Structure 1
Amino acid sequence: MPLTRRAALGATAATVLSPAWAFGEARAQAAETIRIGVLTDLSGPYRDVTGPTSVACVRQAVEEFSAQNPNIRIEIITADHQNKPDVGVNTVRQWFDQRGVDIVTDVGNSAIALGINPVCVEKDKIHLNASAGTSELTAKSCTPNSIHWAYDTWCLSNTSGTALTKMGGDRWYFITADYAFGHAIERDTTRFIEAAGGRVLGASRYPFPQTTDFSAFLLQAQASRAKVLGLAMAGDDLVNCVKQAQEFGLGKSGMKFAAIIGSITGVLAAGPETMQGMYIAETFWWDLDDRTRGFTKRVQQKLPPGIFPNYVHAANYSGITHYLKAVQEMGVARAKASGREVVALMKRMPTDDDAFGRGSVREDGRKLHPSYLLQVKKPGEVRYPGDVYTLAGTVPAEQAFRPLSEGGCPLVRS
C-alpha cells in the first residue's frame, strides 16, 4: 500500500473525479510512483532470517526517506517465493509487466536470485539482493542491473574458515544443504581452510528443504574426529541441526561449531544454552555502535517483542536507503526509465547509513563493508536482551570480499 499520506489522499481524490479524469490521474500517479518489490520467504525455513523482518526494514527505509521527501510516492509490494525458482521468476516477471515494480529486493534463495537476474536485464529493472548467499552474483552472473548487498559465501567463508583454522581448528567436517547455496558455502570455506593449513575430512549433504532429522549426518561427523563442524545451511535447518548436535554431545566432546551463514536470529531462536560457544560470521551486529543500536531501536517498533534484525534484514534497510538517494538525485521519471542508470549512479555514490555505516558499491555490484567473527556467549554472560555475542575478530572491508580481479565479472575492466 502507499506509504505516504499524500499518496493516500491522492488515491482517494482520484475516485471522485469523472471516469476519464480519474483514469488519467491514476495513470499519472502510476508513472510517478516508485514501486519496491520485496520477494522473500514468508512461509518456509528462511521466514525468520528473511521474511517479515526484511519487509519491516524496507518499510523503515521508505518511511525515513519519505519524511524528508514527501513529494516522491513509494509503494511496497511483497510476495512469497516459496523457495521455488519458477515461482520466484514468474512473480518478478509479473511484477515488471503488470504492476510497475522498479526494484526487487531481499530474494534470499540463491537459485531464484540467479534466475531473476536475466529478467531484470531484459526489463531494465533492478535486482538488489540482500539475502542470497551465492558469490556468483558478482562473478560470471553479474549484471549492470544487479547489486549484492549484505554478504556472500566468499565473505563469510573467508571470515570463519581462515580464522578458526588458524585458531587450531584444522580438521573440518561439513553438513551441507544440497542446493546451490549450500554447495557454495562448502566450496568456498574449504578453499580458505586449506589455504590456512587445514583440511576437510568429509561432508554430508542433506535434501533441502525436506530434512528435519540430522542424526545420521551428525553421527558421520562425530566418527570423522573433526575438530570443527562446518554447518553449510541457514534458517530453521541450522537451529534444528545444532540442537540435535548438542543432544548427541558433540559440543561436550570438544568439537567446535561454525555456522558459516548463521545469524542472531538463529541464536535467539535456539537460546544461548544451545548455541553457546558457536562461531558465527556476520556483516552487521545490532550492538556494534550507537548507529546500529539506533537503527535497531527504530525498526523494532515494527516487530514483535524480542526480535533483533540480522545482517540480511539490515541490508534491506541499507540497500533501499541508498537506492532512494539515487532516485532523489536522478528524479523519479528518469529512475523509472532505466534501472541500469540507477545502478550505475549507486556505484558512483558513497554509501552511508545507520546499519552498515560508510561504504561503497564496486563495479561488479559488490557492496563493501567489514565482516565480523562473533562467538555466542554462555547464558551467564548475557546482560540484557539481544546481548548474545562476543566480538572475536574484524575483517576490514577491503579484505572481507573476493578481490575484484578474481570474480570473472564481465563488467570489470581488465
Structure 2
Amino acid sequence: MIPTLTAQAQVSDNKVKIGILNDQSGVYANYGGKYSYEAAKMAVEDFGGKVLGAPVEVITADHQNKADLGSNIARQWYDTEQVDTIMELTSSSVALAVQALSKDKKKITINTGGATTDLTGPQCTPYGFHWAYDTYALAVGTGAALVKQGGDSWFFLTADYAFGYSLEQNTSNLIKGMGGKVLGSVRHPLATTDYSSFLLQAQSSGAKVIGLANAGLDTANAIKQAAEFGLTANGQRLAALLFTIAEVHGLGLEAAQGLTLTEGFYWNRTPETAKFGKRFFDRTGAMPNMVHAGTYSAVTQYLKAIQKAGTDDADAVAKVLHEMPVNDIFAENGTVAKNGRMMHDMYLVQVKKPGESDVPWDYFTVLATIPGKEAFMDPAKSGCPLVTN
C-alpha cells in the first residue's frame, strides 16, 4: 500500500530562528542597531510568537561593519545555531558578503539596512531580498529634488566602501541625466572624525551642492564641520543623501533644519504609522526610521510567507515572498520583483525649523510621495541574472 501524503506543516528544528545582524557599536548604531532588534521582536510578538505551531526566536549580533566578521557570524549561525534567516545587515560590504554566503547555504536574507543596488543587481540571488530602501531611491528622491531647485553642479564626500560608491554612482548618473555636472569627489574612511581636508576640497570645487554619500554619525559629523567652515553660509548646499530621523534627532533641529532627505517611513505620516511609532517609542525611547520599520515589515512578511507555504523551506518561502503583496505599517501595496527588490513608495521630506515642530520627534514635512515604480530601478535594467525581459 502506498502511503498518502498529509498536509502537515513542516518547520525545521521545530522552531523558526531569525538573526538580526548589524552595527551596534559604531557609526550606524542608532541608524539600525539595537532598535532594529527591538523592531524584529515586536513583529514576532504581534504575530503571536509562533508560526505553524512552532516558536519563533530572534537573536542578534554586532558585525562592527566588518565583512569578514559578519560572514563568520552568519556561518556560525547557520552551521551551529540553526538560524533560518538573517536580516537588517547594515553596511553594504557586510550585506553583500552575507547574501553570497546565504546563497550557498540556501538561506533567505532580507536586507533592510544595507543600501547598495548590487544586492538586487549583478550580485542578486534567489534567496536575497531588499526591503526598506536603496541607493537608487535616495538618488531619485534627494538628488533629483535638489537639481530641480537649481543645484546643478555637485561635489561628493563619499564613504570609502561599497555603499558610498553605489550612492555616489547612482546620484551622479541621475544628475548628469538631468543636465547637471559632477565636478569631483573625495573618499573618506568609515567613522572618520576630521573632515577638514575633504570639506576644503569640496569648498574649492565651487559646486553648488556638496553631496554627502555617507550615513549615520559620518553624515552628522560632516554637517557639523561644514557649518564650522561656513560652507552653507557662503551659498553652498549640503545634500544628506542618507539621513534618517535617528540622525536628525542626534544632530538637533537647529543644525538640521531645512535639509531635504528621502525616507521610506515617517512615524507621523498617518494615524497607523503614528500608532506604531508610539508603541516603538514606549519600548525604545526613540521613534523608528525606515530601517527599523522596514525590519518590522520584513520579519512580519517572512512569517506570513512561512504560514502560507506551510513550511520554512527556503525555496518554498522565497517563492511566496515573490508572490505576496506587502501591506503593513511600512508599505502599502508593496510588490517584490524578480530580483528581490521590494517596490514601495518613498517620501521626500524636509526637516522642520525648531519653531515648526509641535510635538517631540515631529521633525519632517512630507514634500512628495515617490511611487515605488519611480523610486526603484526597473528590475530589467538592474543587471540581475534572475530577471529576463
> TM-score band (shorter)?
over 0.9
Q: Which amino acid letter does the alignment assign opposite residue 89 of structure 1? A: S
Aligned-partner Cα distance in 2 for 1:371–1:347: 20
Aligned to 2:150: 168
Q: How far does the alpha carbon of each residue in 1:237-283 deviate from its partner, in whole angstroms, 9 at most, with x for none? A: 11111011111122222222211111111111000111111111111
Structure 1 residues 226 and 77 mapped into 2: Cα distance closer, same or farther (>3 Å)? same
Q: Which amino acid letter does the alignment assign opposite residue 242 of structure 2? A: I
- Residue ranges of structure 1 left out of the alignment (5+ in a row): 1-27
Aligned to 1:16: none
Aligned to 2:324: 349
Q: Which amino acid letter does the alignment assign opposite residue 387 of structure 1? A: D
Aligned to 2:197: 216
Q: Is the 8 A contact 2:309 2:316 kept in 1?
A: no
User: Given the alignment of the two structures, is residue 189 of structure 1 paired with residue 164 of structure 2, yes or no?
Assistant: no
Question: Counterpart of 2:288 in 1: which secondary structure?
Answer: coil
Q: Is the 8 A contact 2:49 2:55 kept in 1?
A: no
User: Given the alignment of the two structures, is residue 98 of structure 1 paired with residue 73 of structure 2, yes or no?
Assistant: no
How many residues end up aligned between the 2 structures? 380
Aligned to 1:365: 340
Aligned-partner Cα distance in 1 for 2:256–2:89: 27
Question: Counterpart of 1:175 in 2: which secondary structure?
Answer: strand
Q: 1:291 aligns with which of 257, 265, 272?
A: 272
Runs of 4+ in structure 1 over 4 Å off = 67-70
Q: Is the 8 A contact 1:109 1:131 kept in 2?
A: yes
User: Given the alignment of the two structures, is residue 411 of structure 1 paired with residue 386 of structure 2, yes or no?
Assistant: yes
Aligned to 1:18: none
Question: Counterpart of 1:357 in 2: which secondary structure?
Answer: coil
Q: Is the 8 A contact 1:257 1:279 kept in 2?
A: no
Deviation at residue 70 of structure 1 after TM alignment: 8.8
Q: Is the 8 A contact 2:16 2:55 kept in 1?
A: yes
User: Given the alignment of the two structures, is residue 145 of structure 1 paired with residue 120 of structure 2, yes or no?
Assistant: no
Structure 1 residues 29 and 365 mapped into 2: Cα distance closer, same or farther (>3 Å)? closer
Aligned-partner Cα distance in 2 for 1:110–1:94: 20
Aligned to 2:258: 277
Deviation at residue 394 of structure 1 after TM alignment: 2.0
Aligned-partner Cα distance in 2 for 1:189–1:59: 34
TM-score (norm 2): 0.94
Aligned-partner Cα distance in 2 for 1:206–1:404: 31
Deviation at residue 68 of structure 1 after TM alignment: 8.1
Q: Is the 8 A contact 1:295 1:355 kept in 2?
A: no
Q: Is the 8 A contact 1:46 1:236 kept in 2?
A: yes
Aligned-partner Cα distance in 1 for 2:306–2:50: 13
Aligned-partner Cα distance in 1 for 2:54–2:277: 25
Q: Is the 8 A contact 1:158 1:400 kept in 2?
A: yes
Question: Counterpart of 1:164 in 2: which secondary structure?
Answer: helix
Q: How far does the alpha carbon of each residue in 1:282-309 deviate from its partner, in whole angstroms, 9 at most, with x for none? A: 11111111121111112222202xx111
Question: Counterpart of 2:230 in 1: which secondary structure?
Answer: coil
Question: Counterpart of 2:334 in 1: which secondary structure?
Answer: strand
User: Given the alignment of the two structures, is residue 244 of structure 1 paired with residue 225 of structure 2, yes or no?
Assistant: yes
Q: 1:111 aligns with which of 85, 90, 93?
A: 93
Aligned to 2:64: 82
Deviation at residue 30 of structure 1 after TM alignment: 7.3
Structure 1 residues 340 and 405 mapped into 2: Cα distance closer, same or farther (>3 Å)? same
Aligned to 2:292: 313
Q: Is the 8 A contact 2:11 2:54 kept in 1?
A: no
Aligned-partner Cα distance in 1 for 2:381–2:215: 26
Aligned to 1:121: 103
Question: Counterpart of 1:393 in 2: which secondary structure?
Answer: strand
Q: Which amino acid letter does the alignment assign opposite residue 266 of structure 1? A: E
Q: Is the 8 A contact 2:259 2:351 kept in 1?
A: yes
Deviation at residue 164 of structure 1 after TM alignment: 1.1
Q: Is the 8 A contact 2:11 2:52 kept in 1?
A: no
- Residue ranges of structure 2 left out of the alignment (5+ in a row): 1-9
Q: Is the 8 A contact 1:256 1:278 kept in 2?
A: no
Question: Counterpart of 1:352 in 2: which secondary structure?
Answer: coil
Q: Which has more helix, going by share of residues?
A: 1
Question: Percent of aligned pairs with the same residue?
Answer: 43
Aligned-partner Cα distance in 1 for 2:160–2:11: 45
Aligned to 1:389: 364
Aligned to 1:59: 41
Q: 1:233 aligns with which of 196, 203, 214?
A: 214
Question: Bigger radius of gyration, 1 or 2?
Answer: 1
Q: How far does the alpha carbon of each residue in 1:96-151 deviate from its partner, in whole angstroms, 9 at most, with x for none? A: 11000001001111111111122212221111111101000111111111100001
